[in-house]
């Protein structure tokens, strides 16, 4: 049987990942819906988390690191009274407490968890320990203790206390922050035990809730048009994730030279002299990422469009 020919689709799909699905499964589903040659995601969401999962198709996969490095916004609910092996609902209970913090007590500790803080990742995480994933070691029954590392929390606010056992928060944070660890550590700071009972991501870099689309809606679009052509309307351009990078327009001949791996001398009084990273555009389309040294544009990562 002949293999299905894949389509050269390029851009970002901002999926509202459903609860219970792995990020890898979500990528596979989107790749199938678009019949795309390549796909990848811009930052893992645990199966028990829902919300914004940026999925790169085609040449957009070359910009995945820019999504992963962007700030994230999460809404999460902390359940007081139990610590768990995974720091969320999935794990076994390892400790309990009858203490329930008041609103004023919760608000009083938030400054401790704002700014650059030290955080120990959960034992059940994808961090490698001597070449093995921490979660594989933890599932095998080995004691896993991961060293604290600095993470940046830009904002942390209390949103709601629906009942004495739960409190809901919103956090804006940088790369490498574990919300499960944050919930665990907040519980300890309040003199109780705690874990995450709900986690939803609502922003990654330039992507927000306004960009999100559900799997059901994507599938419906695909069913309405042969070959899933209607799905192309939900594709965001490759350069969307590169909002924070200076853009540089060059002409067609300069673009041709850059794609051959050659440097391009930038002329004119306003030509930039040095930039670590620029988004190179030509004819309104992205050519790739480049660097400028002493007025010379050099290719760094080019798009095959």
Quote the pLDDT of residue 305.
Answer: 84
3-state secondary structure at position 21:
coil
Quote the pLDDT of residue 125.
Answer: 63
Asked if residue 168 and residue 127 are part of one domain, the reply reads yes
Q: Indicate the Cα dihedral angle 226, 229, 230, 235, nearest 10°.
A: 150
Question: Does residue 222 belong to any structural domain of this protein?
Answer: yes
Which residue matches tokens 């970002």?
A: 12
Which residue matches tokens 């009858």?
A: 98
Quote the pLDDT of residue 180.
Answer: 94
Quote the pLDDT of residue 7.
Answer: 78
Question: Does residue 3 belong to any structural domain of this protein?
Answer: no
For the chain, which residues score pLDDT lower than 50? Answer: 1, 223-231
The answer to whether residue 46 is catalytic is yes
Whether the CB-CB separation of 154 and 134 falls below 8 Å is answered with no
Q: What is the DSSP letter of 85?
A: T
Quote the pLDDT of residue 145.
Answer: 73
Question: Does residue 1 belong to any structural domain of this protein?
Answer: no
| 39-42-47 Cα angle (round to 5) | 90
Catalytic residue chosen out of the listed positions 16, 46, 88, 185? 46
Asked if residue 65 and residue 77 are part of one domain, the reply reads no
Asked if residue 104 and residue 87 are part of one domain, the reply reads yes
Q: Where are the beta strands (DSSP E) in 138-254?
A: 149-163, 166-173, 194-204, 207-208, 247-249
Domain total in the chain: 3
**Which residue range(s) make up the domain with 129?**
72-204
Asked if residue 192 and residue 94 are part of one domain, the reply reads yes
Question: Does residue 180 belong to any structural domain of this protein?
Answer: yes
Quote the pLDDT of residue 163.
Answer: 98
Quote the pLDDT of residue 191.
Answer: 98
For residue 152, count other CB atoms closer than 10 A to its CB. Answer: 15
Quote the pLDDT of residue 20.
Answer: 94
Whether the CB-CB separation of 290 and 299 falls below 8 Å is answered with yes
Which two tokens mark 86? 């995974």
Handedness of CA 136, 96, 46, 120 (dihedral sign): negative
| Enclosing H/E stretch for 34 | helix 23-34
Asked if residue 234 and residue 298 are part of one domain, the reply reads no
Asked if residue 194 and residue 94 are part of one domain, the reply reads yes
Whether the CB-CB separation of 117 and 101 falls below 8 Å is answered with no
Asked if residue 77 and residue 64 are part of one domain, the reply reads no
Look up the CATH number of the domain holding residue 269: 2.30.130.10
Asked if residue 293 and residue 261 are part of one domain, the reply reads yes
* Residue-wise burial string across 154-185, b where 16 or more C-beta atoms lie within 10 A, e elsewhere: eebeeeeeeeeebbbbbbbbeeebbbbbbbbb
Residues 240 and 221: their CA atoms lie apart, in Å, by 22
Asked if residue 198 and residue 94 are part of one domain, the reply reads yes
Question: Does residue 6 belong to any structural domain of this protein?
Answer: no
Asked if residue 35 and residue 118 are part of one domain, the reply reads no
Asked if residue 167 and residue 88 are part of one domain, the reply reads yes
Cα–Cα distances (Å) from 105 to 12, 109, 165, 187, in that order, read 42, 7, 14, 11
Quote the pLDDT of residue 195.
Answer: 98
Report pTM. Answer: 0.87
Helix locations, 82-193, DSSP H: 103-109, 134-139, 179-189
Quote the pLDDT of residue 227.
Answer: 44
Look up the CATH number of the domain holding residue 230: 3.30.2350.10
Asked if residue 145 and residue 63 are part of one domain, the reply reads no
pLDDT in tens, 233-272: 689 999 999 988 999 999 999 999 999 999 999 987 778 8
Quote the pLDDT of residue 1.
Answer: 46
């Amino acid at each position: 049987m002949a293999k299905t020919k894949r389509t050269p689709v390029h851009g970002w799909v901002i999926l509202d990942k459903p609860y219970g699905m792995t990020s890898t499964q979500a990528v596979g589903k989107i790749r199938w819906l678009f019949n795309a040659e390549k796909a990848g995601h811009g930052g893992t969401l645990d199966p028990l988390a829902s919300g914004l999962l940026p999925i790169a198709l085609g040449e957009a996969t070359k910009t995945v690191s820019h999504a992963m490095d962007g700030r994230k916004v999460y809404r999460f609910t902390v359940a007081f009274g139990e610590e768990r092996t995974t720091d969320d609902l999935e794990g076994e209970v390892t400790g309990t407490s009858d203490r329930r913090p008041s609103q004023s007590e919760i608000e009083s500790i938030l400054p401790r968890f704002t700014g650059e803080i030290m955080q120990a990742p959960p034992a059940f995480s994808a961090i490698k320990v001597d070449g093995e994933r921490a979660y594989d070691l933890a599932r095998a029954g080995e004691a896993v203790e991961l060293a604290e590392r600095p993470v940046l929390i830009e904002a942390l606010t209390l949103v709601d206390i629906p009942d004495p056992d739960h409190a809901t928060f919103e956090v804006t944070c940088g790369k490498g922050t574990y919300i499960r660890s944050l919930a665990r550590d907040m519980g300890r700071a309040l003199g109780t035990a705690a874990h995450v009972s709900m986690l939803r991501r609502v922003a990654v870099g330039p992507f927000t809730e306004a960009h999100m689309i559900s799997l059901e809606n994507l599938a419906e679009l695909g069913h309405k048009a042969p070959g899933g052509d209607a799905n192309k309307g939900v594709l965001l351009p490759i350069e969307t994730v590169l909002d924070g990078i200076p853009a540089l327009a060059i002409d067609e001949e300069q673009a041709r030279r850059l794609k051959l791996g050659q440097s391009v001398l930038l002329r004119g009084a306003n030509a930039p002299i040095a930039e670590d990273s620029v988004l190179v555009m030509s004819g309104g389309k992205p050519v790739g990422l480049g660097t400028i040294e002493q007025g010379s544009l050099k290719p760094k990562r080019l798009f095959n469009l």
